[in-house]
Structure 1
Amino acid sequence: MTLHTTQPPILEAAGVDPSEALSILQQALVGADDGELFLERSESESLVFDDGRLKSAAYDASEGFGLRVVADETAGYAHANEISPAALRRAAESAALAKAGYAGQAAEGPRATNQKLYDAVDPLASPAFSDKIALLAEIDAWARARDPRVVQVSASIVGERRAIEILRADALTVRDIRPLVRLNVSVTVERDGRRESASSGAGGRTGFEAWITPDRWQAQVDEAIRQALVNLDAIDCPAGEMDVVLGAGWPGVLLHEAIGHGFEGDFHRKGSSVFNGMMGKRVAAPGVTVVDDGSIAHRRGSLSVDDEGTPTSRTVLIEDGIMVGLMHDRLSARKMGQRAGGNGRRQSFAHMPMPRMTNTFMEGGRDSRADMIASTKRGLYAANFGGGQVDITNGKFVFQCTEAYLIEDGRITAPVRGATLIGDGATALTNVTMIGDDFAFDPGVGVCGKAGQGVPVGIGQPSLKIGGLTVGGTTV
């Protein structure tokens, strides 16, 4: 199975005979349940334009491999940034120590696929370096001219091209080339000596020409300025329990963190998820359907195949409020008698794969956001979020709102600062009272961290009304 190959295979480019590498892998996997050789070559470029000048330009290139041997629930893993027969043999000897736990439950190989979710473009090659700098300078000048209150602008673009190659003991070879780009704009505005900042960004699995068009980067500038100006008028947020209306799109990060991790197969296999034992039971209000889907073309969290060679797919996690599915890598799928759905992901060749989200979202409903606001006597409209903290074992979360407004007598009134949302994912799901008809994905900026590994992800949801959330603020 070969996807998007426009350059020599990694093994051949490194001067390694593929048949020799296969022989080394096969020997390491004798008496093992599963495993693979994962090879990677990546290049990335980051340009930052700050305070009217090019502040930094960074380029990074790396290549290497990771060899994994899985026996029952034990995994041996060895990696190196030197791709050679000698390095492969040393890695095979180390990883093969895991075979002491062999259980005789050999895993079935991943199914073949021809799905192609993105093109094999190279964001580093085009446009030219000078054109990228000129673009950032244009963004800076345009933002400053947009509003006289703008006093500082920072703009950055990041491009990446990652080639991966997966070799299995049955000689199946999977190759993929993964582009990824992102634009980010931050602005600071000032009025009467008070300063506020905000940022906006977008990206996806494309080249720069397809993504950073004038209409798109101008929209990001306008959004950053709009949020910063809103914050200039913000008052201290009152604290207490109240109904909360969440905006569409990026506010789905609350869903991702507070709920999504609890549906990853390894936490269920280890019994550490708050949703353990709830399969087939109601875990959310009627109408709530949550999906993870890594097979959506060009989305930031999408992959034609995951980092174990399994094609990505649509996995329904919650259907009409009932828990119906989990996200699996090959290990958790095998141990739980399920099918791997393409959720085995790793940050790089130096990391083992584990169950991870791709694009996780709640499907839309039939309610309008206007009706949600009108039906709220006293509450908070949380339009945008920043960071947050979640305890996966109990689902408890704390999220900071970067843009929020009071709702009083069915109307949005003053913007507020210092608002946080406090609760737990399981309770929040059951307290969803209205589901919007305005579903949206985030603009393509998400990064998910787990066990020290970060991977790009997508997030989405419609507007939601949730009853009885605790709002942390600066006044009572």
Structure 2
Amino acid sequence: MSRASETLVEEAARHGADAEVWTVRQGIDELVSRGGVIERHSEVTTGATAVTVWADGTEGYAVQNTPDSTDTDLVATALGVGRALATPAKPPPLPPTAPDVPDGPLPYLDAVAAERIRRFSEADDDLEVELRVRADRARVRLHRAGAAPARYATGVVQVHARLTARGDGIGYMGHQTYGRTVRDVLDTVEKKELPELRDLARVLAERPVGELAYDDLLVDGRVLVRLLTLVAPAFLLDSVLEGRSPLAGRTGERVAAAGVSLVDDPTADDSPLPVPWDGEGTPCGPTVLVEDGVLCGYLSARRTAAEAGTAGTGSGQRGPSGEMSTVQPGHLRLRHTTDLGTEVRAGRTVLHVVQANGAHTSNPITGDFSIGANAVVVSPDGTRRNAGNITLAGNVFDLLRHIDGHDGRTRVNRSNNAFVAGPGVWTTCLTTGR
């Protein structure tokens, strides 16, 4: 690795300051294919260097969009910011020794992958397929004065499929698939996701049923993870300390249905973007937020953990350009112990909400929401009919308390480097309408 961070740490010491240097090198491959034609295939390399300094009882910060920068003006800028803000701060304790993880295989969109993607996007007469594929690679290094530098490399593959069918009307289905290797993600897209998306898009292109009547409600994982993302901030210690979380002071209380667990673990085997430590060098691992419906704790970074007098959970994430760490989940997953199966139920008509189309209204503090959605009506024999465009409304915290079981199909939503995963859920607490 470069001696760049040593240069900046030494420059800070020359000014009597403690320092921490974080740097990232990123590679991004992107490919867009539609109708059997590759419309764009690009590769971009970016990076950043961020410096935090502690001097004279204050903290300053500066960032430059250059990886492994040796520009000592970064230190001068960070010191100036600290003096200008004059916010009392002291150097945090040295983090536990962050593991120095050697580089492993990282994802690239090579010619073989490009041909598979092109072939997947070939259209039928009534169906248009567009695939947007992205492979991200990052090499991260963290050097704190007084500790040995640590590094790791990681990557994630993302496939965004958009299918448009034409029948009595136009049916649209979109879905995103994530994983660690290009081959595994493309295998999943080919064998599982595309066949189902084709079927759903064609159903949604049919004339909608006249009356929206059903016995049971199944909210697909694609929709559930969007709703969970809305209330994820309630599980952050920052929100608790700032009075923005309705879960403040409720550890030990039941906040979800029996059988529901909520665990954040960026190191899990199924985490799309595995990382050994967060943007501050704190080792990552499983953090249980809810177990069997009972609130167990919150996610935190070193600053908020210090304020609360607790240990950090390794949840201090930096932005892609080296922005200051904020508390975010890494791989937040909801599970339920009861498997109630997929959309077909003997003697029952099911409304399966398969896609969220945007939030009409949503409140991340109260959890209230009203969203546009697409749904299918599923008869006891498995026949699907188009329910048309509907409105799905309720409260996400109330939904957590009224999950009866899951359908066994885990979906994932991404916001920057925060991933939220969960299955489809059976519930009775939401309202629907047209």
Q: 1:409 to 1:64 in 2, by over 3 A?
A: closer
Q: 1:301 to 1:260 in 2, by over 3 A?
A: farther
Amino acid at match of 1:447: R
Aligned partners of 1:70 and 1:98 also within 8 Å: no
SS at the partner of 1:291?
strand
Aligned counterpart for 1:467 among listed residues 390, 412, 428: 428
Aligned partners of 2:100 and 2:152 also within 8 Å: no
Would you say 1:127 and 2:110 are equivalent positions?
yes
Q: 1:456 to 1:283 in 2, by over 3 A?
A: closer
Would you say 1:204 and 2:204 are equivalent positions?
no
**TM-score under structure 2 length normalisation:** 0.86
Aligned partners of 1:48 and 1:154 also within 8 Å: yes
Equivalent in the alignment of 1:3: none
Equivalent in the alignment of 2:401: 430
Q: Determine the C-alpha separation between the residues in 1 that align with 2:11 and 2:347.
A: 66
* Superposition map of 1:387-466 within 5 A: 387-388=358-359, 390-402=362-374, 404-406=375-377, 414-432=385-403, 434-436=404-406, 438-442=407-411, 446-448=413-415, 454-461=416-423, 463-466=424-427
Q: Determine the C-alpha separation between the residues in 2 that align with 1:238 and 1:63.
A: 54
Q: Determine the C-alpha separation between the residues in 2 that align with 1:196 and 1:405.
A: 12
Q: Deviations over 1:135-161 (max 9, x none)?
A: 3322233x53xxx422x2212321121
SS at the partner of 1:286?
coil
Equivalent in the alignment of 2:65: 81
Q: Determine the C-alpha separation between the residues in 1 that align with 2:223 and 2:100.
A: 30
Unaligned runs of 5+ in 1: 1-8, 449-453
Shift of 1:199: 2.9
SS at the partner of 2:394?
strand
Aligned partners of 2:100 and 2:150 also within 8 Å: no
Q: Determine the C-alpha separation between the residues in 1 that align with 2:51 and 2:238.
A: 20
Q: 1:398 to 1:29 in 2, by over 3 A?
A: farther
Aligned counterpart for 2:25 among listed residues 23, 41, 47: 41
Q: 1:184 to 1:413 in 2, by over 3 A?
A: closer
Shift of 1:179: 1.4
Amino acid at match of 2:126: R
Q: 1:112 to 1:217 in 2, by over 3 A?
A: farther
Equivalent in the alignment of 1:176: 152
Would you say 1:107 and 2:89 are equivalent positions?
no
Aligned counterpart for 1:53 among listed residues 19, 37, 48: 37
Equivalent in the alignment of 2:310: 338
Q: Deviations over 1:155-213 (max 9, x none)?
A: 23211211111111223322111112122332222225x3222233422223x244424
Equivalent in the alignment of 1:304: 276
Would you say 1:96 and 2:78 are equivalent positions?
no
Q: Deviations over 1:344-377 (max 9, x none)?
A: 112223411111112222222234236995697x
Q: Determine the C-alpha separation between the residues in 2 that align with 1:269 and 1:42.
A: 34
SS at the partner of 2:272?
coil
Q: Deviations over 1:393-418 (max 9, x none)?
A: 2122233334x234789998643122
Aligned partners of 1:167 and 1:174 also within 8 Å: yes
Aligned partners of 1:327 and 1:343 also within 8 Å: yes
Aligned length: 431
Aligned counterpart for 1:149 among listed residues 126, 137, 141: 126
SS at the partner of 1:111?
coil
Q: Determine the C-alpha separation between the residues in 1 that align with 2:342 and 2:140.
A: 46
Shift of 1:384: 3.9
Would you say 1:191 and 2:167 are equivalent positions?
yes
Amino acid at match of 1:161: R
Shift of 1:42: 0.9
SS at the partner of 1:101?
coil
* Superposition map of 1:193-342 within 5 A: 194-206=169-181, 208-213=182-187, 216-233=189-206, 235=208, 244-247=217-220, 249-297=221-269, 299-342=271-314
SS at the partner of 1:418?
strand
**TM-score under structure 1 length normalisation:** 0.79
SS at the partner of 1:419?
strand
Aligned partners of 1:69 and 1:98 also within 8 Å: no
SS at the partner of 2:23?
strand
Aligned partners of 2:9 and 2:20 also within 8 Å: no
Amino acid at match of 1:212: L
Aligned partners of 2:36 and 2:120 also within 8 Å: no
Aligned partners of 1:67 and 1:95 also within 8 Å: no
Amino acid at match of 2:170: R
Equivalent in the alignment of 2:120: 139
Q: Determine the C-alpha separation between the residues in 2 that align with 1:218 and 1:456.
A: 26
RMSD of aligned alpha carbons: 3.5
SS at the partner of 1:230?
helix
Q: 1:429 to 1:373 in 2, by over 3 A?
A: farther
Equivalent in the alignment of 2:8: 21
Aligned partners of 1:196 and 1:232 also within 8 Å: yes
Among the aligned pairs, what percent are the same residue? 21
Q: Determine the C-alpha separation between the residues in 2 that align with 1:465 and 1:218.
A: 25
Q: 1:263 to 1:430 in 2, by over 3 A?
A: same
Aligned partners of 2:268 and 2:274 also within 8 Å: yes
